[in-house]
Amino acid sequence: MDKKSLLQWQMDAGVDEAVGEEPVNHFSIPSPSEGECQGGGQPSSKPHPLPPPSRGGSNSKPLHHSPSAAAAIARQAADGCETLAKLEAAVRGFDGCAIKKTASKTVFADGNPKCTVMVIGEAPGAQEDVQGIPFCGPSGKLLDAMFATIGLTRPENLYISNTVFWRPPGNRQPTPEETAACLPFVEKHIALIAPKLLVLSGGTATTTLLNKDISISKLRGKTYDYTNPYLASPVPVMVTYHPSYLLRSPGQKRLAWADMLMVKDFLSQNQ
């Protein structure tokens, strides 16, 4: 394959930046994600090289498992994780989500596992993919600033993760199949953290976890009961705008500020 076609294939797959100094031929060596497996999950029985390039673009990239099989494997793996360390290892070893193949890093979580508030965002972006830390780019800075105004910080009382653990190519929204494949891990994550309050940041987290396809503007301003198969009792949940949306629509920061005050109010009443 000539270099121009190879570059075109990468662009079709969503590649939009060079990460390393030297080019790496991913067609001749195993993908880095295989080296990440730590045995906690359900790693595939044999290594799977990147699929051969084709003119079909990213749609032609086969999933290693069908979406329902991937979700079932994730469920079985999540069922067996009784500690955060085991869960993280299982996520790193999971090969059922196709975006892992185009991502540089697995982005698991950041903050204090003994938090009061757990925040779930959408998906890692470009900076998160480089650093392996959720919300470490511009939207993360805004997220931190929003919570800092009510006295909450990552080292002390915030814990942050996403609906998927890998950056979707070109920063697109994760597909329902991708969020479904990761959902058992996210559910177990919430149960292991057991926060006083769960905050869903943006539409993808809200749709995925509340299973409601209703706009943030209609859902925000109230506390709901969130439950999943791993929780013995429901966790209170609030929804708010995603910081990337607020960066694009600063006029809505007023509403996000009201949401932060509601979080503060909730915490002061539920010590």
Are 160 and 109 spatial neighbours (Cβ–Cβ below 8 Å)? Answer: yes
Category of 151 on φ-ψ map: left (φ > 0), alpha (ψ -120 to 50) or beta: left
Nearer to ligand URA, 40 or 125 (CB): 125
Stretch that binds ligand URA, among 53-61, 121-129, 245-253, 256-264 (CB under 6 A): 121-129
Dist. CA 155–CA 158, nearest whole Å: 7
Nearer to ligand URA, 42 or 240 (CB): 240
Q: State whether residue 66 is helix, strand or coil.
A: coil
Q: Taking CB under 6 A as the rule, does residue 139 contact ligand URA?
A: yes
| Residue 129 exposed, middle or buried by CB count within 10 Å (0-12, 13-18, 19+) | buried
Residue choice 71, 123, 182, 235 for contact with ligand URA (CB under 6 A) = 123
Residue choice 94, 135, 166, 185 for contact with ligand URA (CB under 6 A) = 135
The footprint of ligand URA on this chain (CB under 6 A) covers a number of residues equal to 13
Q: Taking CB under 6 A as the rule, does residue 88 contact ligand URA?
A: no
Q: Taking CB under 6 A as the rule, does residue 168 contact ligand URA?
A: no
- The beta-strand segments (E) located in the chain are 110-111, 117-121, 158-162, 197-201, 224-226, 235-240
What is the smallest separation between the CB atom of 246 and ligand URA, expressed in angstroms? 12
Q: State whether residue 218 is helix, strand or coil.
A: helix
What is the smallest separation between the CB atom of 254 and ligand URA, expressed in angstroms? 21
Residue choice 122, 144, 178, 187 for contact with ligand URA (CB under 6 A) = 122
Q: Taking CB under 6 A as the rule, does residue 174 contact ligand URA?
A: no
Q: How many CA atoms lie within 13 A of 28 on its CB side?
A: 3
Q: Taking CB under 6 A as the rule, does residue 111 contact ligand URA?
A: no
Q: Taking CB under 6 A as the rule, does residue 134 contact ligand URA?
A: yes
What is the per-residue burial (b if ≥16 Cβ within 10 Å, else e) of 100-113?
Answer: bbbbbbbbbbbbbe
What is the smallest separation between the CB atom of 125 and ligand URA, expressed in angstroms? 4
Nearer to ligand URA, 40 or 134 (CB): 134
Q: Taking CB under 6 A as the rule, does residue 110 contact ligand URA?
A: no
Q: Taking CB under 6 A as the rule, does residue 184 contact ligand URA?
A: no
x/- mask, ligand URA, residues 220-259, rule CB under 6 A, reads: ------------------------x---------------
Dist. CA 246–CA 202, nearest whole Å: 10
Query: How does DSSP classify residue 112?
Result: -
Dist. CA 79–CA 100, nearest whole Å: 21
Q: Give the residues lining the site for ligand URA (CB under 6 A).
A: 121-125, 128, 134-135, 137, 139-140, 162, 244
